[in-house]
Structure 1
Amino acid sequence: MSRLNTDQLSLGYGSRHIVKELNLKVPDGLITALVGANGSGKSTILKSLARILNPIKGGVYLDGKLIHRQPTKEVAKHLAILPQNPTSPEGLTVRELVSFGRYPHQKGFGNMSKDDNEMIEWAMKATGMSMFSSRAVDELSGGQRQRAWIAMALAQGTEVLLLDEPTTFLDMAHQMEVMTLLEKLNKEQKRTIIMVVHDLNHASRYAQHLVALKDGTVLYEGQPEVVMTSQMLRDVFNIDADVIPDPRSGAPLCLPYGLAENPVEDIPEISADREVIFPNHRDNRIEATA
Structure 2
Amino acid sequence: MTRLSTDQLCLGYGSRQIVQELNLSVPDGLITALVGANGSGKSTILKSMARILTPSTGGVYLDGKLIHRQPTKEVAKHLAILPQNPTSPEGLTVRELVSFGRYPHQKGFGILSPEDNRMIEWALEATGMSGFAGRPVDHLSGGQRQRAWIAMALAQGTEVLLLDEPTTFLDMAHQMEVMILLEKLNKEQKRTIIMVVHDLNHAARYAQHLVALKDGSVLYEGDPEVVMTSQMLRDVFNIDADIIPDPRTGAPLCLPYGLAEESVASRSSHGIPAVNAQTSGEYREQRVKAMA
Please confirm whether the aligned pair reaches a TM-score higher than 0.5, indicating the same fold. Answer: yes
State the alpha-carbon separation in 1 of the partners of residues 105 and 246 from structure 2. Answer: 43
- Alignment length (residue pairs): 263
Q: Quote the RMSD (CA, aligned, Å).
A: 0.8
Larger helix proportion of the pair: 2
Identify the residue that residue 269 of structure 2 maps to in structure 1.
none
Secondary structure of 1:234's aligned partner = helix
Secondary structure of 2:261's aligned partner = coil
Identify the residue that residue 271 of structure 1 maps to in structure 2.
none
Secondary structure of 1:22's aligned partner = strand
Identify the residue that residue 279 of structure 2 maps to in structure 1.
none
Secondary structure of 2:123's aligned partner = helix
Q: Which sits farther off after the overlay, 162-171 or 104-113? A: 104-113
Structure 2: unaligned runs, 5 residues or longer:
264-292
Q: Within 5 A, what are the aligned runs for 1:1-290? A: 1-262=1-262
State the alpha-carbon separation in 2 of the partners of residues 261 and 139 from structure 1. Answer: 46
Structure 1: unaligned runs, 5 residues or longer:
264-290
Contact 2:91 2:136 in 1 (8 A): yes
TM-score, normalised by the number of residues in structure 2: 0.89
CA distances 1:211-232 after superposition (whole Å, capped 9, x unpaired): 0000000000000000000000
Identify the residue that residue 286 of structure 1 maps to in structure 2.
none
Secondary structure of 1:23's aligned partner = strand
Secondary structure of 2:101's aligned partner = helix
Secondary structure of 2:182's aligned partner = helix
State the alpha-carbon separation in 2 of the partners of residues 251 and 169 from structure 1. Answer: 24
Higher-Rg structure is: 1
Secondary structure of 1:24's aligned partner = strand
TM-score, normalised by the number of residues in structure 1: 0.90
- % identical aligned pairs: 89
State the alpha-carbon separation in 1 of the partners of residues 162 and 109 from structure 2. Answer: 26
Secondary structure of 2:255's aligned partner = strand
What's the offset of the Cα at 1:189?
A: 0.3
Secondary structure of 2:10's aligned partner = strand
Q: Which amino acid counterpart does residue 145 of structure 2 have in structure 1?
A: R
What's the offset of the Cα at 1:262?
A: 3.9
What's the offset of the Cα at 1:255?
A: 0.1
Q: Which amino acid counterpart does residue 179 of structure 2 have in structure 1?
A: M
